[in-house]
Amino acid sequence: MGHVGSRLANLLFWEGVDLILADLESYRVHDLALKDGALEVRPEQIFDVKCDIFAPCAFGGAINQDTIPRLKCKAIAGSANNQLLTDEDGLHLLKRGILYAPDYIVNSGGLINAAAEFDPGGYNPKISRDKVNHIYDTLLQVFETSEREQKPTNLIADAMAEHNLKNKIGQRHIPIRF
């Protein structure tokens, strides 16, 4: 789970989600499971749990050739960086029919909000919120393109990011000054 996963679990609890939690720090899982009425499993068991959404929130490389065959989820959307060990793992997920939300899109809200603190007019929470709300649209675009082209979502997201960087889409006109 990690720190972010703990926050996510709490938010999901209040939305009525049934949670199944694992963490290397067993006290973290136990306390949160008691508080949020969640089922706790050992870290080595989490990949074998039937669920709708698997949310890796602590370790990169957790989605790999050893864990993908064990997954019993419909989608992966977590906050851990570099969840896929290799680019090919995205293809394996696609072949298994598991939707993968690329981690750097899922995680982009924190960076968007932090960068907004350096806007020339100062931080505006409404502008920041509105930009963060577009993450959903970006994910939908990735998912739709992946389905249409039958390519893994991680490669679609990479191509979109490279296109935006090459064409300076979304680039600041005034550099951040510290």
Contacts of 14 (CB under 8 A, 6+ apart): none
Which pLDDT band, with edges at 50, 70 and 90, does 175 fall under? confident
Say yes or no to pLDDT of 35 above 90.
no
Residue 132's pLDDT is what?
95
> Average pLDDT of 71-99?
97
Specify the pTM. Answer: 0.91
Residue with more model confidence, 36 or 79: 79
- Give me the mean pLDDT over the 100-115 stretch: 94
pLDDT in tens, 2-22: 788 888 999 999 999 999 999
pLDDT over threshold 90, residue 105: yes
Percent over 70 (pLDDT), the chain: 100
Are 76 and 103 contacting, i.e. CB atoms less than 8 angstroms apart?
no
- Give the per-residue pLDDT at 37: 87
User: How sure is the predictor about 31, in pLDDT bands with cuts at 50, 70 and 90?
Assistant: confident
What pLDDT score was predicted for residue 25? 83
Query: What mean pLDDT comes out for the span 113-132?
Result: 92
- Written in H, E and C, the secondary structure of the chain is CHHHHHHHHHHHHHCCCCCEECCCCHHHHHHHHHHHCCEECCHHHHHHCECCEECCCCCCCCECCCCHHHCECCEECCCCCCCECCCHHHHHHHHHCCEECCHHHHCHHHHHHHHHCCCCCCCCHHHHHHHHCHHHHHHHHHHHHHHHHCCCHHHHHHHHHHHHHHCCCCCCCCCCCC
